[in-house]
């Protein structure tokens, strides 16, 4: 929740922007961390944001660059589009390349080329290198701003080199390379602090460095960093030459992004769908899936249509249809949630999957029997018909069993097909539990019809 204090700052920001008090605006912003300014900006209109950016671009480029780094890349690009190409390049060349890489693809292709051409050679090449790698890989998110020195360098030269290099994004380790740039070791700054000045790096370095390659999936990078409790992980190419470093702050972004994706994919939402999107944009994103749902959700009515005659004779069956469907859906989505997270965090392998399948089926049957018996007893007292209770109870047992079976299998099969295990899994599940629930309930009803009338 936005606090009182934050509202006051936002109001002052607004006032200074509208009255053109540029010095007071810059002074106000100086007091806040760039990340805080970026999050305050979400409360401003596009026009206000733009005029803030323009002011900073003229008066404090470094600050403008810091804030742009903290904005969501799409938003940053939207704002920058309003500036001239020269101005855009001026700003982007002082932003770390791993923060520019996600922004640039949001510009039209021609504009991208002219922005890169207008940037200084080194930052421009660095950005182009990152964009070379596939999206969602280590190469795409790595920073090219790190300390790396040849293994024969001595400690005193290393300290001088680090001092000259200045502060870098992943400044807790010094990576050690050989003459051909192969990663051979790592030295922590703590080790440098105690080593005698003329020791060579190769004498004090740790040799078995945990690293990833440029094409490693970002989710795997995150898993490594979390698993080994790292603050940064070096990225090497196919020949083990050092190419960059992924820092833990980027890993946290990846983890948050993947957690959102898991949740979204379960309900088949596009992972870019956000609260701040325009309604028409969200409608366009969600409509194809809802139309698909219309098709999958039509399976249950198709099943029910075969039992029209039964329903006509015992309308009470229709009354309980929603209950059967709802309980199957609820139990199944629990199983899916467990499987999706287990696959995301751990590495659910086949022996574990088999165990999970057996276990969830037992849970489904167990819960089904308890719920089924409760429901059977309740409906017996309500409807004074033993067979109705029996049908309801049996249908629930069957449906909870099917929900457990499919709730386990759907994410696993999706993973086996190299699709995302969460992808629309809830929708597929509902289709099956609805249809099978109706089939078992109305099927049993038809078989025992003469006892129900």
Residues of this chain, 133-162, that bind its own copies according to CB under 8 A: 159, 162
What phi, psi does 14 have (nearest 5°)? -55, -45
Return the residue of 85, 189, 394, 449 that touches its own copies, per CB under 8 A. Answer: 189
255 contributes a contact to its own copies by CB under 8 A: yes
8 Å CB contact between 439 and 326: no
Return the residue of 108, 279, 384, 418 that touches its own copies, per CB under 8 A. Answer: 279
What would the x/- binding string for its own copies be over residues 34 to 53, using CB under 8 A?
-xx--x--xx----------
Calculate the dihedral angle through the C-alpha atoms of 177, 178, 179, 181, rounding to the nearest 10 degrees.
Answer: -40
How far apart CA 115 and CA 136 sit, in angstroms, is 23
Q: Residues, the chain, total?
A: 453
- Nearest approach, Cβ of residue 66 and its own copies (Å): 11
Contacts of 224 (CB under 8 A, 6+ apart): 210, 212, 230, 233
Nearest residue (CB) to its own copies, 77 versus 266? 266
417 contributes a contact to its own copies by CB under 8 A: no
347 contributes a contact to its own copies by CB under 8 A: yes
Binding segment (CB under 8 A) for its own copies, from list 56-64, 85-93, 197-205, 430-438: 430-438
Return the residue of 12, 22, 112, 282 that touches its own copies, per CB under 8 A. Answer: 282
Q: 4-19 and 46-59 helices cross at what angle (nearest 10)? A: 70
> Within positions 366 to 385, which residues make up the interface with its own copies, using CB under 8 A?
366-367, 370-371, 374-375
8 Å CB contact between 149 and 176: yes
CA angle (218 as vertex; 227, 189 as ends), nearest 5 = 60
- Nearest approach, Cβ of residue 315 and its own copies (Å): 5
> Within positions 292 to 331, which residues make up the interface with its own copies, using CB under 8 A?
293-294, 297-298, 300-301, 304-305, 308, 311-312, 315-316, 318-323, 325-327, 329-331
What phi, psi does 154 have (nearest 5°)? -95, 165
- Token pair, residue 182, equals 């192969």
- Nearest approach, Cβ of residue 369 and its own copies (Å): 10
HSE-up of residue 414 (Cα within 13 Å, Cβ side): 22
Binding segment (CB under 8 A) for its own copies, from list 85-93, 112-120, 234-242, 244-252: 244-252
For residue 399, which of 428, 439, 448 has the smallest C-alpha distance? 439
How far apart CA 421 and CA 59 sit, in angstroms, is 49
Return the residue of 48, 60, 219, 342 that touches its own copies, per CB under 8 A. Answer: 342
- Nearest approach, Cβ of residue 176 and its own copies (Å): 16
């Amino acid at each position: 929740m936005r606090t009182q204090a934050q509202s006051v700052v936002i109001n002052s920001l607004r006032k200074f922007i509208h009255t053109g008090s540029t010095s007071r605006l810059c002074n106000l912003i100086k007091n806040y961390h760039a990340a805080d300014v970026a999050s305050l900006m979400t409360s401003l209109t596009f026009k206000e944001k733009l005029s803030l950016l323009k002011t900073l671009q003229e008066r404090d480029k470094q600050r403008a660059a810091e804030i742009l780094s903290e904005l969501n890349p799409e938003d940053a690009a939207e704002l920058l589009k309003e500036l001239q190409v020269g101005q855009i390049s001026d700003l982007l060349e002082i932003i770390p390349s791993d923060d520019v890489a996600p922004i640039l693809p949001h510009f039209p292709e021609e504009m991208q080329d002219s922005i890169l051409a207008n940037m200084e050679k080194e930052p421009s090449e660095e950005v182009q290198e990152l964009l070379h790698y596939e999206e969602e890989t280590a190469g795409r998110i790595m920073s090219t701003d790190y300390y790396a020195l040849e293994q024969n360098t001595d400690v005193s030269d290393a300290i001088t080199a680090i001092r000259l290099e200045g502060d870098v994004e992943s400044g807790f380790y010094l990576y050690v390379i050989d003459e051909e740039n192969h990663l051979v070791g790592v030295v922590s700054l703590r080790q440098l602090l105690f080593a005698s000045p003329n020791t060579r790096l190769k004498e004090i370095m740790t040799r078995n460095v945990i690293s990833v390659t440029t094409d490693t999936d970002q989710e795997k990078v995150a898993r490594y960093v979390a698993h080994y409790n790292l603050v940064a992980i070096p990225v090497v190419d196919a020949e083990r030459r050092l190419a960059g470093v992924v820092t833990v702050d980027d890993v946290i972004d990846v983890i948050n992004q993947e957690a959102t994706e898991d949740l979204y994919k379960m309900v088949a939402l596009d992972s870019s769908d956000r609260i701040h999107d325009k309604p028409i944009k969200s409608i366009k994103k969600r409509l194809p899936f809802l139309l698909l749902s219309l098709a999958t959700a039509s399976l249950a009515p198709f099943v029910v249509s075969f039992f029209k005659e039964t329903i006509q004779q015992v309308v009470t069956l229709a009354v309980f249809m929603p209950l059967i469907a709802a309980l199957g859906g609820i139990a199944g989505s629990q199983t899916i949630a467990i499987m999706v997270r287990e696959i995301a965090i751990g590495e659910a392998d086949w022996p574990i999957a088999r165990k999970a399948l057996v276990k969830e089926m037992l849970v489904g049957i167990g819960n089904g029997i308890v719920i089924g018996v409760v429901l059977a007893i309740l409906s017996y007292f309500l409807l004074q018909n033993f067979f109705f209770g029996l049908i309801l109870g049996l249908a629930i047992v069957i449906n909870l069993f099917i929900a457990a079976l499919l709730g386990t299998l759907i994410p696993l099969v999706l993973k086996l097909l190299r699709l995302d295990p969460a992808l629309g899994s809830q929708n597929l599940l509902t289709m099956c539990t609805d249809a099978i629930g109706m089939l078992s309930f109305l099927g049993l009803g038809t078989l025992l019809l003469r006892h129900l009338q």
